[in-house]
Amino acid sequence: MAYADRLTGWLELAHFPHGTSSSHIETQLRRYFTRWGALEQISMDSGTNLASEEMVEFFKLWGVSVRLSSARYPQSNGRAEAAVKVGKRIIMANTGSVGSLDIDKSSMAMLQYLNTPIRGINKSLVQMAVGRQLRDGIPMARWHLTVDKHWGATLRQRERQMADSGAALTENGPSRKLPVINPGSQV
């Protein structure tokens, strides 16, 4: 399964060695939702495992509207088609003997794809999502790994807020003077 975020183009791939039942797909989508937030809309083909009653209920629970792509109009889902194309290239060249994505070669290929700057904006998918490049298998200058100044300012502000709230808890928190308990006292 290929998952591509429409805004950033972030790509994730999932391998289902034991079939793509609705419950396997739900599990993978739940992981995506936990990591990136629930989708507003999902575009997908109309496979029976995706259009099942179980999937309809899952998407309803999460508040996700479903847009089915059509064989008549495949260009209507261009971003997903492009993600599938890239995903296939990564899988074909970097999977293990049983098609597993859980090997170093495929993980490094995904990192390299996510770290590759996009033409026109000169930022990678990773930089748009997390504010810096991620280390992959290719040596790079250390400055590529530093957090973008805008992201850094946000992180420092968050750290200050956390420190301030921790200090406030210490000052105003539930701690209080308790009477001394003598040995043998009933408590």
Q: Are 11 and 2 in contact (CB under 8 A)?
A: yes
d(CA 86, CA 110): 10
Bridge partners of residue 66, in order along the sequence: 42
What SS3 string covers 53-77? HHHHHHHHHHCCEEEECCCCCHHHH
Residue 39, CA atoms < 13 Å, CB-side half-sphere? 20
Give the H or E element holding residue 4. strand 2-4
pLDDT category at 160 given cuts 50, 70, 90 is confident
pLDDT tens track for 84-133: 788 888 888 877 666 677 778 888 888 888 888 887 778 888 888 888 88
Bridge-based pairing state of the strands 11-13 and 41-44 = unpaired
What is the per-residue pLDDT for 158?
Answer: 66
Other Cβ atoms within 10 Å of 66 Cβ, number: 16
Q: Where are the domains of the chain?
A: 2-145
d(CA 90, CA 118): 17
Superfamily designation of domain 2-145: Ribonuclease H-like superfamily/Ribonuclease H (3.30.420.10)
Residue 73 scores a pLDDT above 60? no
pLDDT category at 169 given cuts 50, 70, 90 is low
pLDDT category at 57 given cuts 50, 70, 90 is very high
User: 27-41, 55-69, 81-95, 102-116: lowest mean pLDDT where?
Assistant: 81-95
Q: Are 115 and 134 in contact (CB under 8 A)?
A: yes
Mean pLDDT across the chain:
79
Bridge partners of residue 13, in order along the sequence: 2
